[in-house]
Structure 1
């Protein structure tokens, strides 16, 4: 447990929307040094997308409930994210009036995941919807983390948050492109107006 205390105490603090002072690869190497082999192996399940080809994955269309990994944070996170994704898929399919047979039924709990999905699909901008979802994921991770500040679940929560921050950095390119498109459109509109008004080019 002393090694975990040392690991957690040296990690830089994280805030949503602020670039992390540590890169994911460096964090993983720290974990390799300080975590037990069994706890380190569970890092592979610290994923924003709990789907995939890993053992104990949720299966195509999230048909299966996640099996317990023995970590309260990871077990609850996978249940939360599964519920969120199922509700998002159902609501989006309803919006386009389509049905998808392979999806599992969207569970009523956790209720906050249901509410997040409903709010997200009401947001018109796809980029803003994704940013909203990631802020909600951040809050969910914090609420699921528990109170053992120097335990392994704190390490797993930190890893999930690092991935959210990395994802947020990628969105900055999209935000910049959206701003560029808006500026370009306004310049073209202004130029077109001048042409129609008979002003010289």
Structure 2
């Protein structure tokens, strides 16, 4: 019952709102969750991240474990394809990497603009999140899914094309200088 009251208070969030402020930020989300969740659930909400743990340790949530496995697989695929593109050695992909993850990574790496690649990966992650979202909209896993969505949207709103282009060229030049 507590999840119903929590989920019903969560506003809709969308990256389509441009640079306007979100109706809720991570801090407000965690604060709201503290009123309705158990200590263990609060701990999980407090540790939500877009960077999955390197090891496949259990979070206590099947939804989060699956999300982190998919995100970890995507990151491995991106790393391998980028390394191959630069003619460098790459780590072997873990067994959980599926064909759709490899295709998404190839598409992103093949894009000319890093911002376009990030937008593509954002949309891919949102679709994946929607596919994994629990059927019970008023479960703790729905709260976790909302937290991940909020992290994704907040991250996407931080991108600025000019600042990103300058940073990209600086990083790329440093990489090329390191190869000499």
Contact 1:17/1:168 (CA < 8 Å) preserved in 2? no
* Matching residue of 1:140: 128
Shift of 1:7: 0.4
| CA–CA separation in structure 2 for the residues paired with 1:96 and 1:108 | 24
* Matching residue of 1:194: none
Distance 1:167 1:178, change over 3 A: closer
Note the residue ranges of structure 1 that are not aligned, 5 or more in a row: 51-56, 59-63, 180-201
Normalized against structure 2, the TM-score is what? 0.82
Distance 1:107 1:119, change over 3 A: farther
* Matching residue of 1:16: 15
Residues paired across the two proteins, number? 162
Superposition pairs of residues 1-201 of structure 1, within 5 angstroms = 2-18=1-17, 19-50=21-52, 57-58=53-54, 64=55, 66-100=56-90, 103-107=91-95, 109-171=97-159, 174-175=160-161
Encode CA deviations 1:147-200: one digit per residue, 9 max, x unaligned: 0100011111111111111111111xx225579xxxxxxxxxxxxxxxxxxxxx
| CA–CA separation in structure 1 for the residues paired with 2:161 and 2:76 | 27
| CA–CA separation in structure 2 for the residues paired with 1:82 and 1:143 | 17
Contact 1:73/1:145 (CA < 8 Å) preserved in 2? yes
Distance 1:107 1:123, change over 3 A: farther
Structure having the higher Rg:
1
Normalized against structure 1, the TM-score is what? 0.74
Contact 1:90/1:106 (CA < 8 Å) preserved in 2? no
Encode CA deviations 1:102-130: one digit per residue, 9 max, x unaligned: x3524353433222111111111011101
| CA–CA separation in structure 2 for the residues paired with 1:178 and 1:36 | 40
Encode CA deviations 1:51-87: one digit per residue, 9 max, x unaligned: xxxxxx32xxxxx4x1222212101111100110000
